[in-house]
Structure 1
Amino acid sequence: MEKTNPTTAPTTSRAVRFESFGGPEALTIREVPVPQAGSGQIRVRVTAAGLNPMDWFMTSDADTAARFGLSLPCGFGTDYAGIVDQVGDGVSEFAVGDRVFGGAMSRAVADHVVVDVAGTIAVGGQAHHTPDGVDDRTAATLTIAGCTAAAALAVVNPSPGDTVLIGGAGGGVGVFAVQLARLAGARVIGTGSATSADALHALGAEPVTYGEGLVDRVRALVPDGVTAAMDLHGTDTAQAARELGVPDARITTIATQVDGITPANGANAAQGALEEIAGLVATGQLRVPIAASFPVEQIRAAVELQAGRHVQGKVVIDL
């Protein structure tokens, strides 16, 4: 096993923890023993962690946490980026000093995270090499949102000639979905608040204000109609798409389920989808707007901002 120098390696590190379920007010920073990489594992010195709605949703109450296999005390956050600082026996894919990013469910906002090289986000965590040209803050936003967007696109399968309606286009998943649909050759209509119009334009979407009257506004913008839809916030966009004549087979949701419509789950993203997205970022074909970054000491404020669901882009924690 490769390790940091035992004479200088720290024995404790910081981790954001829940000792009772609830909202941002329940988050605490604790000194915990530095985890050690076992066989088939790597340890990552985390430099940045990206926030997602699922982070606070999973730990909002005991019943919800139990559905995700979480119990107290537990960590917080899933997306991370950093540098490998310990490699366990039997690992050849990574070496100390490698830059990596990935997901480790409900334990990523910490100075160190141990990841199974052959694991999944939900079980053991996962790691990917960070491409040159992708900084750690950006890498820390890719896993959950990128996989979810890729899974949503796989359901509706946009191509040149399609006009795709994307609900919640300026949110964490939306910024990926809009750009991936545009790269596929589709025209994109993105819903958002009136103040998000410039941000949606910058992503390549034609903005339309959400809320009552959405169907009429979309018809006025796209007289020929839309051919596919992704609802990345709730059900309003999916219902509007049905009114606009989009068949259920070309509509998807990520935050809820609607009878007859196939939901998208990032866990089902195609193998290699995340590496492809990271490569698009590295080559400048896809950009990730960072709405705000916070030091870990301000974790509660960061989660409050992200949980408000009005952030245009991603929120990142620096460690």
Structure 2
Amino acid sequence: MKALVYDRFGSIDALHIAEHPDPHPGPDSVVVKVVSASLNPVDYKIREGYLQGGIDTILPAVIGWDVAGVVVRAGFDTPEFQVGDEILAYARKDVVSGGTLAEFVEVPVRTATKKPAELSFEAAAALPLAGLTALQSVRRSQIAPGTTVLIHAAAGGVGSFATQLAVRAGARVIGTARPGNFDYLRSLGAEPVEYGPGLVDAVRALAPEGVDTILDFVGAEAMDTVPQLLRPGGVVTSVASPRARDEFGGNYVWVRPDPDGLAELAELAASGELHVEIAKAYDFEQYADAFAALESGHVRGKVVVNVNS
């Protein structure tokens, strides 16, 4: 099969499409013909070697964890799925090796759920990692009706979902973004503020007593403003900095596969209750352009790659 692989750590130049052995299903996994996959910042961080010591990589590795496609083979004990089922998955395994940017991928059943017929493959592929990160961040923070939540990078892949989920939970949401994304955030139910200098004053103008919850999808500078913006007894949750947990007593979230949570997100998206923002969908051969867009840091929503469209 054709797959997007890297056999050394490095930049986009380390990636290339190559012939790769077809995957085989394990006892509790299925082989999926990939229709669409989506990209996440963690993909290029792993490719660049930043997570060595945190998760092992077996080279040459196929990149990618998000997938939507069709089951073509099933393992010995996979009653959840049959050949022909359309599924989506956050197909993270214990090591980085057989990823989703390929014609076929082995998917553990513990990472997958069936795709609703009303949901496109592109939208389904955009949901798993970002959607589950948002869902688990919102739930870990115990966001409740009537609370005020500050979401950093609210227009990004994770932030777009977190904004909508927090609004659905009954919270008032203030979201940081570039001015060009302000109208987009308003459409999701958030009050936008510009990140960078003046952020603290802008948030305090909207929430003079501070906010009840901070969801951080940026790290670094966002953590520096926590003491100035979080109310006493408030909760900060970050996917980018352990300071949220170690310094402020909050949560540091590393998203886990969760088929039930993924099914919930897929149904919300299929019914139109959860908007899936796709920045652009690229053909497989345009993978370099897709990663360049992702790594620019200015993407609204998700970058999708169509493999077998």
TM-score normalised by length of structure 1: 0.88
**1:108: which partner in 2?**
100
Which residue of the partner structure matches residue 196 of structure 1? 181
> Which residue among 159, 163, 166 is the counterpart of 1:181?
166
Q: Greater CA deviation, 99-108 or 244-253?
A: 244-253
Residue identity over aligned pairs, in percent, reads 38
Give distance in 2, aligned partners of 1:257 and 1:33. Answer: 38
How far is the alpha carbon of 1:165 from its aligned partner?
Answer: 0.5
- Structure 1: give runs of 5+ residues left out of the alignment: 1-12, 119-125
Partner secondary structure for residue 67 of structure 1? coil
User: Which stretch of the first structure deviates more once superposed, 205-214 or 145-154?
Assistant: 145-154
1:249 deviates by 4.9
- Establish whether residue 97 from structure 1 lines up as the match of residue 89 from structure 2: no
Counterpart Cα distance in 1 of 2:219 and 2:136: 17
1:88 maps to 2:75: yes
Q: Is the 8 A contact 2:141 2:251 kept in 1?
A: no
Q: CA deviation at 1:270?
A: 6.7
Q: Deviations for 1:82-119, whole angstroms, at most 9, x for unmatched residues?
A: 0011122232221111000102235110010012324x
Mapping 1:158-307, distance limit 5 Å? 158-247=143-232, 249-258=234-243, 259-260=247-248, 261-267=250-256, 272-307=260-295
Q: 1:298 to 1:247 in 2, by over 3 A?
A: farther
Q: Counterparts of 1:24-35 in structure 2 under 5 Å?
A: 24-35=12-23
| Structure 1 partner of 2:61 | 74
When normalised by structure 2's length, the TM-score is 0.91
For 1:154-197, what per-residue CA distance to the aligned partner results, in whole angstroms no more than 9, with x for missing partners?
A: 23222221111000101110011000000001111000111111
- Tell me which residue corresponds to 1:127: 112
The worse-fitting range, judged by mean Cα deviation, of 50-59 and 27-36 is 27-36
Give the structure 1 partner of residue 34 of structure 2. Answer: 46
Give every structure 1 segment of 4 or more consecutive aligned residues whose post-TM-superposition deviation is greater than 6 Å.
Answer: none
Matched-pair contact (CA < 8 Å) for 2:212–2:234:
no
Give aligned pairs, total: 298
**CA–CA distance in structure 2, aligned partners of residues 56 and 194 of structure 1:** 26
Alignment RMSD:
1.8
Give 5+ residue unaligned stretches, structure 2.
none
Q: Secondary structure of the residue that 1:132 maps to in structure 2?
A: coil
Distance in 2, matches of 1:111 and 1:69, equals: 23
CA gap of 1:91–1:19, structure 2 versus 1, over 3 A, is same
CA contact (8 A) 1:152 1:230 kept: yes
